[in-house]
Structure 1
Amino acid sequence: VLSDVFFGRFPVIAVGCVVSLSGMCLLLVTAILPVYKKTPGCDPANPSACTMLTCQLPLLFTSFLLMSLGAGGIRPCALAFGADQLDKRDNSTKNVRRLQTFFNWYYTVLGISLVVAVLVIVYIQDHMGWVVGFSVPVVLMLAALMLFLAGSPLYLKAEADRSVLVGIVQVLVASYKNRREVLPPETAEASCFHNKAGSRPRVPTKKMVSMNRACVLRNPSKELHSDGSACDPWRLCTVQQVEDAKAVIRVLPIWSTGIIPGVIVAQVMFPVLQAGTMDRQMGKVEVPAASYSVFGIITLTVWVALYDRVLVRPLSRLTGHARGLSLRQRMGAGLAVFVVAMAVAARTEALRRGAAIAEGFQDQKHAVGHMSAMRLVPQHCLIGLADALNLIGQIEFYYSEFPKSMSSIGVSLLALGIGFGAVLGSAIVGIMNSATGRDGRDSWLSSNLNRGRYDYYYLVLAALSVANLVYFVWCSWAYGEEGQIRVMALAAEEAEEEETKQEQHK
């Protein structure tokens, strides 16, 4: 909202980088400062005899806060800002492919960076200490900020446009005020509706027709100024304002289907707990329990690159779609893969639990069984593939369907959905614990995995994913054709440009 409505994307990204860098520097300071006060009898090997520095926790929490705020300014805006540099503002096949390639390679590079973070940065922190481990990201962030600012003269910087957000609110208010007014017949001409002065006259779409009341002209002599603007913009809006508002509202049901994937993505700790009770030896090396998630990241990265470079062209010939698969087809395929991933996770956990009980570890929650932790790789790979299909498809969908001046808001919807998913996931865990742990029984999500039934938890997520997939199919059918708002907006811009050229010739 700040970037699209008030400041523009470039300033928000720059400030976000500075704030994030400040948080990382504070985190580095917490690693440099001693943890305990130098008092007589204090031995770091025996922390109970020491007093912790009072500034440590405030510094730590402040660093987390700054890094979170900075990430909030960078992540939604960076993707939209990068797309702005390539978007030729037309609906041609070439432009669609150009944007798709950008989105795919953006996430390919992001996946590679995550792999480097998980494998290299974590290794540095483990073997060289926290000071060196935190210093490396600080240096990298500083270099990234300097490179970003150095390219400032070359960037295409779209200006913030608060009128779009205000216009959406005006449409909602005007629709309510005019709720008792009769709509013109479907055959009504464009002259029956309020269009911006100088733009090409057109009628609103037949979707969500009740909102069309906001742009119906009833008495032009009383409702319009001499320059063609509305006397009361809270009672009469333009057709473009109405279509922008429709674009935002129409997307919301499809956006809501991204909450269940957010639940699945948020339960990252459960596979880590499972891996901790399994054989993690690979030769002479014991793989950290948290490192198995790297297989999901690798799958996402490989799939995105493979799809963009190899699969798009043959799929385009089969489907006739410039993207190979349409955005909603990719999103739906991703939701289907989430179902399979949760079913595989349930089966793997059932086998792990059965093997642990057979080895006599039912009451030994820290015991490590003989089953290889590599059995967790398929579910991680499936989740990575589902993310590549659904989550990246969501971002492309929001970017292409939202009004151009609201691209950052559209892109941030993915993070919002994942956030809602994390909250819902916590609620599901709480409900499941209270419902299955009554009367002294072990909860399905017991701290002792061998006494719990985590396989049932995964089956619940699989069932929710099936219901979510069915819901998505209905939402997709109700949504109709993609790209109509963008086409109308482009037509309006072309008409305005033509009008400007004609005036200049005169």
Structure 2
Amino acid sequence: MDTLHREIQTPNSGRRQGGGWITFPFIIGTLAGLTLAGGGWVANLIVYLIQEFNLKSIDAAQVSNIVNGGSSLFPIVGAIIADSFLGCFSVVSIFSCISLLGTGFLALTATLNSLRPQPCNDGGISFCKAPLKIQFLVLYAGIALATIGLGGTRFSLATMGANQFHKPQEQGSFFNWYFFTLYTASVVSSTAIVYIEDNVSWGLGFGVCVAANFIGLAIFLLGNRFYLHDKPQGSPFMNIVRVPVAAFKKRNLPLSSTSHDYYNEPTNQPTNVEAAAPKKGFRFLNRASLKAEGDIGSDGSIAKPWSLCTVQHVEDLKSLIRIFPLWSSSIFLSIPIAIQGSLTILQALSTDRHLGQHFKIPAGSVPVIVLISTSIFLTLIDRFLCPMWQKLTRKPPSALQRIGVGHVLNVLGMAVSALVESKRLKMVHAHNLRSQPSSIVPMSALWLFPQLVLVGVGEAFHFPGQVALYYQEFPASLRSTATAMIAMILGIAYYLSTAIIDLLRRVTSWLPDNINNGRLDTVYWTLTVVGVLNFGYFLACASLYKYQNAEKEVDDSSA
């Protein structure tokens, strides 16, 4: 995954075998099928667990957060496996099969009555029968397999698609179409498939997910003979991990001021060119590249990989350490988004979702407003806001400026969420609905849209800003996987949001099983305060951060 420009040459002709635009329909078709399959069950999982498995509302939201976290973390796992061992084609094939198996299990739970508990007698949670152990086993096995499969294919498929092209311009065009397809398929799955699940049957809806997954896998395998297959080159992460180990082993060795005492990768440069020495920052790590007896083999290569690293590997780790504070601020930026995503569905279930007399918005489709607003504002930012900013300031907005705007909009989104929930709770009290968990508040679900629009617009600013920052500032050996750090941020945020919700349930009365008896507005106000504090932390980190690739920053600013 760490090389997008590799080509396979024939022994005699020197021409490239495979790849090119002929592979585009297969890659995009696969993406569409797998995204439809994954989005179709993930978007409506909370509703399915509440209505069909009698789970309490907050418990269902917790399961959804764990699923979203897993599907965001497994792209990192898939990327490492693809780089180090199997290659992108094998990883996508294997994880697509895992996804198909897991989605099949979910379809079985929706189809066979024996795999679901009996429905509630009157819709009240106190009269609901808990699922049996075997029912839980099949359900969670399906969720786990489908989550692993969904996460494992995302970035590996994107990387494999980019690897089919040699020119950066073609790769850029591919990524544009890739993300357009990803968002379009996500919107379709979160609306059309969710509508089938809510208004026709869960079995048919999950069956559509199985069919979409199977078709996506079939399309991918049909294109095998056209693909450019790259052999695994080893994960650059392993080189980073070796640095602190080697530095600890040599903790008692004195540092040298002579560059010759540090190990550099052998090159074809003239011998009179002075070798690079590690920089002074984080000097305790410099020992990892300090030569010692027995570290280097007779051919000049490293004989003890866990005792000696190159100067470049040491500097790569330092770059990651320097950018870590900014990266951590993005985790706390994503936690409110994760919490809002699950709690909004619970709010939607308790509001009037009718549009006219004959159409009812599925609760699982309400968060799709975030996707739609993000897609629209990505275009507006690229075509209008950025050119306007450049005309006024004579340089485009920097990555850190984009991220900062995203912080502000996210805080505003949480504040609006708190105000809307306060209005909903007032109507609950006015109509004496606190003791009725399945009651519908006479308040339109459209009131939830402004907060989702704000969060979506914020994502249009800070997600591309983060991608640009990490791609520019990460070490060159890690740039191809820098975008996967966004997935890691989301994964960590979802798991932390699960822990935070669990903590709030234990120490406060804000999140009972019946949200009509709770104070969800207080939760949102708390997230608003945390967002403001995190924005201050981000501003401090941004003001202290010094770009590692200053030349590139200047070039970008003057472009």
Cα deviations across residues 359-405 of structure 1 (Å, max 9, x unaligned)? 44455554434433212111011111222333344345445544565
> Aligned residue for 2:236?
164
**Compared CA separation, residues 406 and 148, structure 1 to 2 (3 A):** farther
Which of 34, 47, 67 is the aligned partner of 2:146?
67
Identical columns (%): 34
* Displacement after TM superposition at 1:239 (Å): 1.7
* Displacement after TM superposition at 1:338 (Å): 1.2
Which of 338, 359, 368 is the aligned partner of 1:294?
368
Amino acid at match of 2:276: R
Task: Say if 1:262 and 1:419, in contact at 8 Å, map to a contact too.
Answer: no
Cα deviations across residues 402-425 of structure 1 (Å, max 9, x unaligned)? 456556754443333333323322
SS of 1:236's equivalent in the other structure is coil
Task: Give the distance between the partners of 1:126 and 1:278, measured in 2 at CA.
Answer: 16
**Compared CA separation, residues 482 and 103, structure 1 to 2 (3 A):** farther
- Computing the radius of gyration from Cα coordinates, the structure with the larger value is 1
Task: Say if 1:28 and 1:134, in contact at 8 Å, map to a contact too.
Answer: yes
The equivalences for 1:100-111 within 5 A come to: 103=175, 105-111=177-183
Which of 472, 475, 483 is the aligned partner of 2:538?
472
The equivalences for 1:29-428 within 5 A come to: 29-35=108-114, 58-85=137-164, 95=168, 103=175, 105-162=177-234, 164-185=236-257, 191=260, 193-198=262-267, 200=269, 201-216=275-290, 224-267=296-339, 268-284=341-357, 285-316=359-390, 324-403=396-475, 406=478, 410-428=482-500
**Compared CA separation, residues 134 and 352, structure 1 to 2 (3 A):** closer
> Aligned residue for 2:524?
458
* Displacement after TM superposition at 1:246 (Å): 2.7
**Compared CA separation, residues 362 and 64, structure 1 to 2 (3 A):** closer
Task: Say if 2:194 and 2:365, in contact at 8 Å, map to a contact too.
Answer: no
Task: Give the distance between the partners of 1:404 and 1:291, measured in 2 at CA.
Answer: 40
**Compared CA separation, residues 101 and 306, structure 1 to 2 (3 A):** farther
> Aligned residue for 1:503?
none
SS of 2:231's equivalent in the other structure is coil
Task: Say if 1:80 and 1:407, in contact at 8 Å, map to a contact too.
Answer: no
**Compared CA separation, residues 266 and 304, structure 1 to 2 (3 A):** same
SS of 1:162's equivalent in the other structure is coil
- Please give the TM-score of this superposition, normalised by the length of structure 1: 0.77
Task: Give the distance between the partners of 2:207 and 2:388, measured in 1 at CA.
Answer: 46
Task: Give the distance between the partners of 1:328 and 1:217, measured in 2 at CA.
Answer: 38
Task: Give the distance between the partners of 2:143 and 2:446, measured in 1 at CA.
Answer: 33
Task: Give the distance between the partners of 1:388 and 1:396, measured in 2 at CA.
Answer: 13
Alignment RMSD: 3.8
Task: Say if 1:3 and 1:408, in contact at 8 Å, map to a contact too.
Answer: no
Q: Structure 2, unaligned stretches of length 5 or more?
A: 1-79, 270-274, 554-559
Task: Give the distance between the partners of 1:484 and 1:176, measured in 2 at CA.
Answer: 31
**Compared CA separation, residues 392 and 80, structure 1 to 2 (3 A):** farther
* Displacement after TM superposition at 1:60 (Å): 3.5
> Aligned residue for 2:41?
none
Amino acid at match of 1:266: A
Aligned residues: 461
* Displacement after TM superposition at 1:256 (Å): 2.1
SS of 2:216's equivalent in the other structure is helix
Task: Say if 2:246 and 2:287, in contact at 8 Å, map to a contact too.
Answer: yes
* Displacement after TM superposition at 1:224 (Å): 4.3
* Displacement after TM superposition at 1:320 (Å): 6.2
* Displacement after TM superposition at 1:264 (Å): 1.9
Task: Give the distance between the partners of 1:353 and 1:197, measured in 2 at CA.
Answer: 68
Task: Give the distance between the partners of 2:107 and 2:202, measured in 1 at CA.
Answer: 8
